[in-house]
Amino acid sequence: MTDSTDASSHHVSYADYATGEPVVDKAVPSGAIETRWERRRFGVKLVNPANKRSKKIIVVGSGLAGGSASATLGEAGYHVKTFCYQDSPRRAHSIAAQGGINAAKNYRNDGDSVYRLFYDTVKGGDFRARESNVHRLAEISRQIIDQCVAQGVPFARDYAGLLDNRSFGGVQVSRTFYARGQTGQQLLIGAYQALERQVKAGTVEMYARHEMLELIVVEGRARGIVARDMVSGEIEVHTADAVVLASGGYGNVFYLSTNAKGCNVTAGWRAHRKGALFANPCFTQIHPTCIPVSGDHQSKLTLMSESLRNDGRVWVPKKLGDDRGPNEIPHEERDYFLERKYPAFGNLVPRDIASRAAKEVCDEKRGVGPSGLGVYLDFDDAIQRLGRKAVENKYGNLFEMYERITGENPYEVPMRIFPAVHYTMGGLWVDYDLQSTVPGLYVAGEANFSDHGANRLGASALMQGLADGYFVLPVTIGDYLAKNELDAVPDDAPEVVEAVQSVTDRIDQFLSINGTRTVDSFHRELGQIMWDYCGMERTEEGLRKALDRIPELRREFWNNVKVPGTGAELNQSLEKAGRVADFLELGELMCLDALVRRESCGGHFRGESQTEDGEAQRDDENFSFTSAWEYTGRGQAPVLHKEELTFEYVHPTQRSYK
């Protein structure tokens, strides 16, 4: 089905989905988990160094995953073309990461190990991740720190000069490396420098302000992309021997999220339409510590790093309707609900648990702030214990950011926080080699369906993006290139012509609808539907409502959206229209995925599936699988392929942080 016929397409019930053949990860070696990655690396076919120059690789994305992949592939001698929609790779959303990056270095000698990081991550993800991938991630975590230190990333150090660590949720050791509250920025500058070095060396060609709008698939293999020069509007064809998508997460399907405004699903969704399965789309992370929504005018939300929960205490008044200022409420009249409910982990429970606990007290009408949708994050005790200077050293820039946005001084009045959409665990399905179901299409970082299962532990996204880019892809993609000698794709190949045509048709259609509603108004409405029905709590009834409403909204979009301007110029409404059109399809798939998964796990909380004390109740017998969806046409019921998950090492138990 083409985009132009979609406007009139009939509504086919998504809930009529079919179940297809299981999807199997054929790339993962068997045997002892500790040696799987070692054996995979030894098993790959190598590309002769002299031949690497003739192999072209396209990398879409220059955040931590794409930047590190491009730099490493360039350094290895491949001919790399890297794309990003920002004006510089340095502005990728990764720059926003605040809190830190995990690594099993055990510098604190507090009992950490590769195995413990592996264990914590499998458990933290509520047993919905692959053991082999997670173990590899834990192994590589140590190399990442060495790599970044060698690049000069200024990690925080302790008094003795050793790299410092702090704790993040869901763990009882201190393994998070950080650079004040700007870890992502410092890591990205490291990757960016390495990337620019390759640009100078001529191995990487950088295409900033270019948006990938289509994947080119020739004889079943990913062979290139169609991109739009966002300044001139020119549509360009770029072909290659393999394509890497490192295009980030899709949390902005909710309109309001902590993601940068530009984050979107288009690269991944275009690939999905061309045959790449989309895995666990409903697994969304809601982060407990964000600045509460303050009104309709807002277009984005601000995260306050999880690291703040190392020293900040979360509370609400015990009494209903207590409207005293926070400093007037004595300690004994405060409910430190995380410490009360989860004494073993206290304020450092994982994000899904902390978010739900905050929702629960707000549902009881004990929330604080003008909307009642907020809880306090209080540093009073920490300031008294450590002194203001020490708190300032650790979190100074976060406190400053909070004060600038809210006008309140968190050294004097507790911060107010509330959960918000933050990260998407779902993404394109990949095997152990990070290859999607389209041969030659690799997916890295937040764009793949990730090693985090149903809930990502804090400080693990940076670790995964850099593991994928610096260490995994350069090995596995080489294997593919060594084994597949591919002819160049001519610009007039029918698949290329078709891909270009579909991009230009779509742009023409956006510009010709000339309706009455802005792109943003559709996006905002979609976001509200997603938040209400596919947000912190999902129910059969709500999801069915969303599945009815989203196709209607999509049809209205294709009939009534207004995109001013032309395609031959910088046109932000046009850019947004393309992204929102894809969100309108993705949102429906997310709701279907959430409906089909009739269990709660991690961030996916089904109201119908909870324990007596309100915790997520998994159903391992029926749902111990990754869902991988096949596209069959817009508004058409997709096909579900299941990848069964097996746990040989970390045996599934009811997660407990009590």
Name which of residues 69 to 88 contact ligand FAD (CB under 6 A). 83-86
* The token pair that represents 132 in the structure block: 């082999």
Residue 92 near ligand FAD by CB under 6 A: yes
Name which of residues 304 to 333 contact ligand FAD (CB under 6 A). none
445 or 551: whose CB is closer to ligand FAD?
Answer: 445
CB of 340 to ligand FAD, least distance (A): 27
Q: Phi, psi at residue 622, to the nearest 5°?
A: -105, -20
CB of 549 to ligand FAD, least distance (A): 27
Residue 252 near ligand FAD by CB under 6 A: no
Residue 71, Cβ neighbours under 10 Å: how many? 31
Count of residues binding ligand FAD (CB under 6 A)?
Answer: 46
Give the binding range for ligand FAD (CB under 6 A) out of 56-64, 379-387, 482-490, 549-557.
Answer: 56-64
317 or 426: whose CB is closer to ligand FAD?
Answer: 426
Residue 350 near ligand FAD by CB under 6 A: no
CB of 66 to ligand FAD, least distance (A): 5
Cβ-closest position to ligand FAD:
63
Marked catalytic residue, from 221, 309, 351, 597: 351
Q: Report the C-alpha gap between 325 and 248 in whole angstroms.
A: 40
Q: Report the C-alpha gap between 258 and 27 in whole angstroms.
A: 34
CB of 448 to ligand FAD, least distance (A): 8
Among 70, 185, 460, 509, binds ligand FAD (CB under 6 A): 460
Give the binding range for ligand FAD (CB under 6 A) out of 63-71, 482-490, 550-558, 647-655.
Answer: 63-71
Which amino acid type is present at position 529?
Answer: I
Residue 33 near ligand FAD by CB under 6 A: no
CB 165 within 8 A of CB 310: no
Among 167, 183, 186, 355, binds ligand FAD (CB under 6 A): 183
Residue 185 near ligand FAD by CB under 6 A: no
Give the burial class of 8: count Cβ atoms within 10 A of its Cβ; 0-12 exposed, 13-18 middle, 19 or more buried.
exposed
Residue 211 near ligand FAD by CB under 6 A: yes
Among 134, 195, 216, 246, binds ligand FAD (CB under 6 A): 246
348 or 543: whose CB is closer to ligand FAD?
Answer: 348
Residue 174 near ligand FAD by CB under 6 A: no
Among 303, 489, 547, 574, binds ligand FAD (CB under 6 A): 303
547 or 577: whose CB is closer to ligand FAD?
Answer: 577
User: Of all helices (H) and strands (E), which one includes residue 101?
Assistant: strand 101-102
Q: Report the C-alpha gap between 140 and 122 in whole angstroms.
A: 16
- The number of C-alpha atoms within 13 Å of 563 and in the hemisphere containing its C-beta is 28
Residue 417 near ligand FAD by CB under 6 A: no
CB of 451 to ligand FAD, least distance (A): 12
β-strands 334-335, 313-317: how paired? Answer: antiparallel
Active site residue 351: yes
- The number of C-alpha atoms within 13 Å of 442 and in the hemisphere containing its C-beta is 30
If we measure between CA atoms, which residue out of 297, 304, 314 comes closest to residue 258? 304
Q: Report the C-alpha gap between 145 and 155 in whole angstroms.
A: 9
Q: Report the C-alpha gap between 301 and 283 in whole angstroms.
A: 19
Residue 167 near ligand FAD by CB under 6 A: no
268 or 326: whose CB is closer to ligand FAD?
Answer: 268
Residue 99 near ligand FAD by CB under 6 A: yes
121 or 183: whose CB is closer to ligand FAD?
Answer: 183
Residue 445 near ligand FAD by CB under 6 A: yes
CB 71 within 8 A of CB 195: yes
Q: Report the C-alpha gap between 355 and 364 in whole angstroms.
A: 14
- Angle (CA) 123-620-345 rounded to 5° is 25
Name which of residues 422 to 441 contact ligand FAD (CB under 6 A). 422-423
Instruction: Give the DSSP per-residue string, 191-236.
Output: HHHHHHHHHHHTSEEEETTEEEEEEEEETTEEEEEEEEETTT--EE
Residue 101 near ligand FAD by CB under 6 A: yes
Tell me the three-class secondary structure of 453-488, residue by residue: CCCCCCCCHHHHHHHHHHHHHHHHHHHHHHHCCCCC
Among 212, 391, 561, 645, binds ligand FAD (CB under 6 A): 212
246 or 546: whose CB is closer to ligand FAD?
Answer: 246
- Enumerate helices (H) and strands (E) in the chain, giving the number of each: 19, 20
Residue 521, Cβ neighbours under 10 Å: how many? 15
127 or 250: whose CB is closer to ligand FAD?
Answer: 250
Name which of residues 266 to 285 contact ligand FAD (CB under 6 A). 266-267
Residue 351 near ligand FAD by CB under 6 A: no
Residues sharing a CB contact under 8 Å with residue 501, sequence separation 6 or more, in sequence order: none
β-strands 210-218, 313-317: how paired? Answer: unpaired
Helix (H, G, I), strand (E, B) or coil at 248: coil
CB of 494 to ligand FAD, least distance (A): 23
User: Of all helices (H) and strands (E), which one includes residue 147?
Assistant: helix 131-151
Residue 248 near ligand FAD by CB under 6 A: yes
Q: Report the C-alpha gap between 347 and 313 in whole angstroms.
A: 6
Residue 450 near ligand FAD by CB under 6 A: no
Q: Report the C-alpha gap between 190 and 54 in whole angstroms.
A: 27
643 alpha-carbon distance from chain centroid: 20
Among 73, 74, 78, 98, binds ligand FAD (CB under 6 A): 98
424 or 600: whose CB is closer to ligand FAD?
Answer: 424
380 or 403: whose CB is closer to ligand FAD?
Answer: 403
93 or 549: whose CB is closer to ligand FAD?
Answer: 93
Q: What is the DSSP letter of 347?
A: G
- Residue with token string 């012509």: 497
CB of 23 to ligand FAD, least distance (A): 22
Residue 62 near ligand FAD by CB under 6 A: yes
Among 23, 33, 58, 64, binds ligand FAD (CB under 6 A): 64
CA-to-CA dists, residue 368 to 288, 344, 409, 520, angstroms: 15, 26, 17, 30
CB of 469 to ligand FAD, least distance (A): 7
Q: Which residues bind ligand FAD (CB under 6 A)?
A: 60-66, 83-86, 92-94, 96-101, 183-184, 210-212, 246-249, 258-259, 263-264, 266-267, 303, 422-423, 445-447, 459-462, 465
- Catalytic center residues: 351
